[in-house]
Amino acid sequence: WIFSSRPLILRDAPKGQSLSEEECEMAEEAKEITLRILFDVLEKKDCLLVENPEDFIGLRRVRMCPLIPVYLVQDLIVRLLNTSFRKINHMVDKTYHVPPDSEEIIVYLSPQFWQQKEMLACGSRPGTLILELSQILGYNCYLQEPTEEGEGNNVPPQVLTAYSICWAFETWMNHKGSYCRTYSCCGEEARDSVCALSRLSVCLNDIIPPPVIPETTAFCNCRFKKRGPLTSC
């Protein structure tokens, strides 16, 4: 059930190239958007995150549900705050570099990154950054071998991989409604956010979501206001 519209991009410590001014602005904007999303997930941890995935063993409704622990989101924030960017124009074995004895993380961006969606969605820049940071945290890109089926009611929780973590943010937590000052699915005002009534929340909390309000035919003149930068390039 893990899919992504992005290609497999760049991976050992090539020096890469410095970003142009425009690319730097786009990369830092993607970083800021991703940070806002991650902080919003923490604010909604009661309906989207778990303290201990093992507590959900035996609940069949969460069998295919990605169980994202609170500490994982906290670790993603810490790593992202220490991340800088360079670019490379050819495929290599590794998409990031962590210099020895340093907290700095260098993520190498491929040409495809600039074509990805700005807002959180399948195949988006925030999703790509979450994917890369998940690998830095030690999660395998994919499952190395099939997991064993649980016996009886002892159904094990879904094993997390870098792609399943990315997929959890891009689809399971994401808004299903349209945005025009607020999201039609839940009333959330912040554009760069996740949904408290998302598929993941429904699955974890065994609730019935309200119907999504359809878009009106009237023209909605929405203007996205940029917030102050969280980081600098």
pLDDT tens by residue, 161-182: 999 999 999 999 999 999 999 9
The fold for domain 21-142+154-205 equals Collagenase (Catalytic Domain) (3.40.390)
The one-digit pLDDT tens for each residue of the chain (233 residues) are 333 345 444 444 456 789 999 999 999 999 999 999 999 999 999 999 999 888 887 777 777 889 999 999 999 999 999 999 998 876 554 555 565 666 788 898 988 899 999 999 999 999 999 999 999 999 988 775 545 544 444 545 568 999 999 999 999 999 999 999 999 999 999 999 999 999 999 988 876 555 655 554 444 444 444 444 444 44
Taking only Cα atoms into account, the Rg of the chain, rounded to an integer number of angstroms, comes to 18
Phi/psi class of residue 165: alpha, beta or left (left: φ > 0; alpha: ψ in -120 to 50)? alpha
* 122: helix, strand or coil: coil
How far apart CA 35 and CA 136 sit, in angstroms, is 17
Match 């003149």 to its residue by tokens. Answer: 221
Torsion angle in degrees (nearest 10) through CA of 115, 67, 33, 143: -30
Q: Are 160 and 75 in contact (CB under 8 A)?
A: no
pLDDT, tens only, 69-85: 999 999 999 999 999 99
Give the domain ranges of the chain: 21-142+154-205
CA distance 96 to 85: 9
